[in-house]
C-alpha cells in the first residue's frame, strides 16, 4: 500500500512536467525572437537551449543593439513560465521576475498574459508579440 501511494505521489509530481510539453509552448519558443507588437525591436529572445532569454528595450535597440538583460527561464506548468533576472543591477536588491501565461501561439503571433510580481496591486496585462 505504501509503495502504491509513493508511486502515485511521484507520478502526480512528474505529470505537470509532462503536460508542459503537451501543447508544445516550451519547444515553440526555443530559439525564437519575440518583438512587441508595434515595436521595432523591443522584446524577448529565447535561447535554443530553452534555459535563458534576453530582453531588449526599444530605446537600447536604436542606440546599441547589443545591450540586453539575461533571464533564466523556468516553466511552471504547461503554459506558465517564470523569468528571473540573472545579473544583479544592484547588490541590495533581489532579482526581478516576470510570470507569464502563454495564452496562444497562432502563426507568428504570440499572446502572453503578464502577472504583476512587484509591490502594489496590478491586474494581469495581455501583451502581443510577433515571432521573428
CB count within 10 Å of CB 43 equals 24
Residue tagged 507520478 (cell numbers) = 11
CATH number at residue 114: 2.40.128
Domain that residue 40 falls in: 2-131
Whether this model's pTM surpasses 0.85: no
End-to-end CA distance of the chain: 53
10 class by beta-carbon count within 10 Å (0-12 exposed, 13-18 middle, 19+ buried): exposed
Q: How far is the C-alpha of 1 from the C-alpha of 77, rounded, in Å?
A: 29
Provide the number of structural domains found in the chain. Answer: 1
- Per-run averaged pLDDT (10 residues), the chain, 132 residues: 38 42 82 95 95 91 76 95 92 93 97 95 97 92
Amino acid at each position: 500500500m505504501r509503495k502504491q501511494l509513493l508511486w502515485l505521489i511521484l507520478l502526480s509530481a512528474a505529470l505537470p512536467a509532462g503536460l508542459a510539453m503537451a501543447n508544445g509552448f516550451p519547444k515553440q519558443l526555443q530559439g525564437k525572437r519575440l518583438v512587441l507588437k508595434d515595436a521595432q525591436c523591443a522584446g524577448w529572445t529565447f535561447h535554443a537551449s530553452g534555459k535563458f532569454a534576453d530582453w531588449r528595450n526599444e530605446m537600447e535597440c536604436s542606440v546599441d543593439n547589443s545591450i540586453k538583460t539575461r533571464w533564466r527561464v523556468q516553466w511552471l506548468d504547461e503554459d506558465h513560465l517564470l523569468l528571473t533576472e540573472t545579473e544583479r543591477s544592484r547588490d541590495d536588491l533581489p532579482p526581478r521576475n516576470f510570470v507569464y501565461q502563454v495564452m496562444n501561439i497562432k502563426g507568428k503571433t504570440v499572446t502572453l498574459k503578464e502577472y504583476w510580481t512587484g509591490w502594489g496591486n496590478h491586474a494581469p496585462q495581455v501583451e502581443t508579440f510577433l515571432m521573428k
